Structure 1
Amino acid sequence: MRTLVFVTSLVIFAGLAFSGPAVTRADEGNIKVAEAKAESNFPDGIKFSVIASSVDEIDDIRVFFSKVDQKGRSAYRSVDFEPGTHVVGESILPSGSGGNYFPPGTMIEFSFEVRDKAGAVLRTETQEFVYQDNRFEWDTVVEDLITVYYYGEYVRNRAVTVLEAAKENLERMLPVLGITPTEPLRIVSYNNYRHMSSALPFRSQAVSEGLQTQGMAFSNERVLLVHGFDPTVTGTVSHEFTHLLVAEAAGKAYTQVPSWLNEGLAEYGNIDPTDDYEAALRYGIFTRRIKPLWYLSSFGGTPED
């Protein structure tokens, strides 16, 4: 994660709606689904909605979902509704602090399972949905596996700059890491820090007041959030993009990769480095505060660290 010392500010975002097709795949019985959709309730999560009917009373509805890039790791939530022959149900997949958080740009697959008292079961077709912030109208630039989301007039050229930085980093790091990515990687580019700040995971007040995040990678979702108009954006994108590639190379062992190695590889992949790291190293040497590598297996909890 690349940061600058600053005081954060927040802005509240709305959600991006997505309505999936009503076509369903039936098992048995007379169950019909008129609507099955997901919509962003950003920054609080995803709202799933379903409208269904049957000759017999519908008594159970579940929504199954998984992150598209994490095959085989699915989960489900019960849908809230009043039992009957014609029902309208909703379920919220929360995104917030701690383990519930997932960033905008996260892609999921979802489907509903509807059951009635006669024993009939209907499973809707699987749909894809991208969790996004619908305060803005999003456009994309895409090349191969990389998609950059951006918004606003006259911003496309900046999105292309972000895309080119990611491509250059990919070309640099693939031989180093020995991988060939096959799944998409998504970059969400915000026009300023004020817009991006509320999309970031919660941090303590002391940390958030001392650090302004220029970009952050989320390896589980294969998503990178970036301040697209920061002067160091090409360096930030390439640095953070490396974290996504390191995660792919390490697989399930990613959490065991020490921070000094992860950050070292990320800075090696930086196509436009600044002197921030060198200055920090010089300062540490001068003040005799250099810590041994074993101490740097994870980040500290203060802006100074």
Structure 2
Amino acid sequence: MRGALLLPLLALLAGLAIALPSGSSAQTPGFVTTIENEYPQFLRFRLTTSAPGEVSEVILRYRVVGSGSLARATPDEFEPTADVRVEVRVPTGILGFIPVGSEFIYHWELVLADGSTVESEEDRYVYLPTGKVWRSVHNDFMRVYFHGDQENTARRLLEAAERTYVRMGRLLQVELEVVPVNTVLFASEADLEEANPNRSEVYDAATFLCGSQVAINVIFVIDRSCGTRDRSDTLRHEFTHILVEAAGEGGLGRVPAWLNEGTAVYSQTEPGDSFENPFELAAITDRLIPFTTMTAGNNNPSQVGLFYGQSYAMVDFLIETGGEEDFARLFATIKAGNRFDRAIEMIYGWTFSEFENAFRAYHELPPRQPAT
């Protein structure tokens, strides 16, 4: 892969940009766009242009890379005129969350009084928090945005992503569906939390927030050890979630939470004591989480370590039992539209209950008794 390249971005100190990142020169002559970034709640797109006739409607058409859908927005007020000066507000916060790190592809459409239309060329804009001078390093599939003196950290994360893609891409037999993956490196947990308002306050009270995958191609991280000795493991973990989705999600296919999280932990340099110790204690005392409740995820802060540790152990057991080829086939079978439990039966020959009892036997525990 190509070496990392360092690219400066125009400072967003005032929260105002002109057709970033590709610049107004990429637009059709006559269309001048400015974008005011009111992070974290709104982007304001402002257009100034002179049309060849009276304009009856102005439409901003845009899509967020990775979302797969085209959206439109119009000014709150507009009087027909040939000299157009309008503002269109796009919500990014509580009225319609769009994470920072997202890239907008947009263009303007003018509807003239005679029914004809005039369109600008497409342009792009990367949405990032204001008040910082953002720069980036990138390779073929990922761009890491950072500010301040974090360039070395950004390059380290990029290298970890390259190694993870080689290892986990081979394990899952998958390639990324949307590139680049934009990773936003925050300076503090407070900055990260401000950018990710959907986190549960109860959950956060009992857990450290080190990073998260917030879109199919956007990752948030901070430079912190989060249960392992390698500070890049959070990036490995969150990046693997994207690979898991590419390998197993599609149409009717849905990867269960334990398989998603367990595979992400498997990508790390080590599971870490905060995951391994709760699992080992639960295995010794026969207090493992029933497999039937592992599917939808964990909402109990007191069981975070156990959930992740058990998810990792379940994934490790599958790989040890059937090998990497069967593990990749499991994801492909789910993606083809099969329920995960049916996919396990097709690949490994176990019902989900039999899988649980085989796992329990491996850890010297008796079969789980059916609920009465």
Rounded Cα–Cα distance in structure 2 between residues aligned with 1:177 and 1:263: 14
Could you list the per-position Cα deviations for residues 213-263 of structure 1 after superposition, in whole angstroms to 9, with x for gaps in the alignment?
A: 10101243x111001244653111111110011111224259721010001
Could you tell me which of 142, 152, 158 is aligned with 2:153? 158
User: Would you tell me which structure has more strand in proportion to its own residues?
Assistant: 1
What pairs up with 1:206-245 in 2 under 5 angstroms? 206-220=202-216, 222-230=217-225, 232-245=230-243
Retained in 2: the 8 A contact 1:81–1:88? Answer: no
The 3-state SS of whatever aligns with 1:164 is helix
What pairs up with 1:4-19 in 2 under 5 angstroms? 15=15, 17-19=17-19
Unaligned runs of 5+ in 1: 1-12, 26-31
- Could you say which residue in structure 1 is the equivalent of 2:164? 169
Which is further off, 132-141 or 42-51?
42-51
1:160 partner amino acid: R
- Could you say which residue in structure 2 is the equivalent of 1:130? 126
Retained in 1: the 8 A contact 2:221–2:235? Answer: yes
Could you tell me which of 267, 270, 283 is aligned with 1:269? 267
Structure 1 position 94, deviation (Å):
1.3
Structure 1 position 15, deviation (Å):
4.3
Superposed structure 1 runs of 4+ greater than 6 Å apart: none
- Could you say which residue in structure 1 is the equivalent of 2:143? 147
Structure 1 position 55, deviation (Å):
5.7
Which is further off, 269-278 or 251-260?
251-260
- Bigger RCO (CA 8 Å, 6+ sep): 1
The 3-state SS of whatever aligns with 1:43 is coil
Retained in 2: the 8 A contact 1:49–1:90? Answer: yes
Rounded Cα–Cα distance in structure 1 between residues aligned with 2:77 and 2:24: 21
CA gap 1:256/1:180 in 2 versus in 1, 3 angstroms: closer
What is the RMSD of the two structures over their aligned residues, measured on CA atoms? 2.6
- Could you say which residue in structure 1 is the equivalent of 2:246? 248
Retained in 2: the 8 A contact 1:218–1:244? Answer: no
Structure 1 position 50, deviation (Å):
1.1
User: Would you tell me which structure has more helix in proportion to its own residues?
Assistant: 2
Could you list the per-position Cα deviations for residues 3-51 of structure 1 after superposition, in whole angstroms to 9, with x for gaps in the alignment?
A: xxxxxxxxxx9846342426655xxxxxx84412444321113222211
Retained in 1: the 8 A contact 2:103–2:124? Answer: yes
Retained in 2: the 8 A contact 1:50–1:89? Answer: yes
Retained in 2: the 8 A contact 1:162–1:228? Answer: no
Percent identical among aligned pairs is: 26
- Could you say which residue in structure 2 is the equivalent of 1:181? 176
Could you tell me which of 88, 93, 105 is aligned with 1:91? 88
Structure 1 position 166, deviation (Å):
1.1
- Could you say which residue in structure 2 is the equivalent of 1:8? none
TM-score (norm 1): 0.83
Rounded Cα–Cα distance in structure 2 between residues aligned with 1:240 and 1:145: 15
Unaligned runs of 5+ in 2: 1-12, 304-372
- Rg larger in structure: 2
